[in-house]
Amino acid sequence: MNSSIYNYIKQIVPQANILFDEPMSNHTTFRVGGNAKCLVKIESKEQLIKLVPILQATGQDYFILGNGSNLLVGDKGYSGIVVKLGSEMGNISVEGKKMRVPAGVLISRAAQEAQAHGLTGMEFASGIPGTIGGGIVMNAGAYEGEMKQIVESVEVMDRSGEILTLDNDTMEFGYRTSVIKNRPFIVTEVVLKLSVGDKEEIRNKMEDLAARRQEKQPLEFGSAGSTFKRPEGYFAGKLIMDAGLKGYRIGGAVVSDKHCGFIVNTGDATAADVRELIETVQERVKEQSGVTLEREVIYLGDF
């Protein structure tokens, strides 16, 4: 990053929000990864609109980050600028059955807000660790629910700073994908359309799902949730178990005994350990069953 870009960034965000050599292990749920050359915390949509076009125009490498719940950063770090969208970007607002949620808000927090207003339909998402923005990009889902079921519209920004609003159909939601995965858009805000429900029943359902997650998922370890997409006609966890990989370890990275679809950091894993284990699982499953596992995890930086 040259000095002119740095000086421009200083005019947009407070100095305290510009972090150099920032450990990405502090910003990903895998809890691994080297340093980002620079990480900029964004507190408003206005800051984002000013920052991204200049990074784009100058050819500066940058990455838009939410909660880092689907990200593996290499041990050698990332030489570009990480633009982190925080929950400070705005407040959740509720009007009738509709809830307007800024992109940096955690999905779990939005689900809690829905419950507090007696709105149902979002219980499935109450344990998803990502942000609303990230959840929209990948059409996050769990327990027979996914974001496309509750999204009315999505406000996005293109890389020139123009704001657009996309309706549910335009989003082209599919299994762990949306139109945004293949377009240069950044989610800034989402309007969710929910239904009126009983607060106590909604809370009970969320607590039940939380208990099921606790029982079946290795929540005590760092991970990115389900490491692989579900292959059509199969379950990734069962394919991995059938390949004899339950508990398989490379360094500090392990195929979870509790749920084979999770690769976890037992405490001292490196990003290289995790990546090697992901690729080993893919190879073994392909050999065993002929099925190609597609990872959900995004790689960033140098390994």
Same domain, 95 and 82: no
d(CA 167, CA 153): 4
Interatomic CA distance for residues 169 and 184, integer angstroms: 18
**Domain presence at residue 207:** no
CA angle, residues 227, 278, 105, in degrees to nearest 5? 35
Q: In 3D, which of 77, 82, 49, 58 has the Cα closest to residue 2?
A: 58
Are 49 and 94 found together in one domain? no
Q: Please give the Cα distance from 99 to 194 (Å, whole number).
A: 8
- Look at the alpha carbons of 110, 116, 118, 124 in this order and tell me if their dihedral is positive or negative: positive
**Domain boundary, last residue among 70, 88, 106:** 88
Two tokens, residue 131: 């942000």
| Residues 297, 298, 299, 300, CA torsion sign | negative
The single-letter code of the amino acid at 290 is: G
The answer as to whether 211 is a domain residue is no
* End-of-domain residue from the set 88, 110, 144: 88
* CATH of residue 77: 3.30.43.10
**Could you tell me where the beta strands, DSSP code E, fall in 24-148?**
35-42, 62-65, 71-73, 78-85, 93-95, 98-102, 119-120, 141-142, 145-146
State how far the Cα of 300 lies from the Cα of 39, in Å rounded to an integer: 14
Task: Tell me if 179 is assigned to some domain.
Answer: yes
- The residue among 23, 54, 88 that closes a domain is 88
Report the DSSP beta bridge partners of residue 263. Answer: 255
Domain holding 174, by residue range, is: 90-201
Q: What is the reported pTM?
A: 0.92
Q: Does some domain include residue 208? A: no
Considering the domain boundaries, does residue 213 fall inside one?
Answer: no
- The verdict on residue 42 lying in a domain is yes
Tally of structural domains, the chain: 3
Give the catalytic positions in this structure: 176, 226, 296
Over residues 224-239, mean pLDDT: 95
**212 is a domain residue:** no
pLDDT digits (tens, 9 = 90+) for 40-99: 999 999 999 999 999 999 999 999 999 999 999 999 999 999 999 988 788 999 999 999
Residue 210 lies in a domain: no
Span 169-210, pLDDT tens digits: 999 999 999 999 888 899 999 999 999 999 999 999 999 999
Share of the chain above pLDDT 70, in %: 100
33, 72 Cβ separation under 8 angstroms: yes
